[in-house]
Amino acid sequence: MSPEFELSIEKREYMLTLIKDYFREERDEEIGDLAAILMLDFFMSELAPEFYNQGVFDAYLYVTRTADGILELQKIQR
């Protein structure tokens, strides 16, 4: 499984740190770099697209509702 998008080195390192910190603090487990990398790659390839698609859909709804509201700005002509 390889991710369909790339992260900057800084963001990737930050996310790997978050994953390792989570395991240490919440599960009282130490995981290594390889385990954190595999987990991040899994999240990026399998889970991130769902969140991305939801964001696109939410943006669509927002734009649609906002665009509909623009028509209310029309002046009534008699």
Residues of the chain with pLDDT under 50: 1-3
Cα separation, 69 vs 75, in Å, equals: 13
Give the per-residue pLDDT at 61: 93
3-state SS, residue 4: coil
Cα separation, 34 vs 18, in Å, equals: 14
Assessment of whether the complete model's pTM goes beyond 0.75? no
Cα separation, 60 vs 75, in Å, equals: 26
The letter for the amino acid at 5 is F
Q: Identify the sign of the CA torsion 50, 55, 59, 65.
A: positive
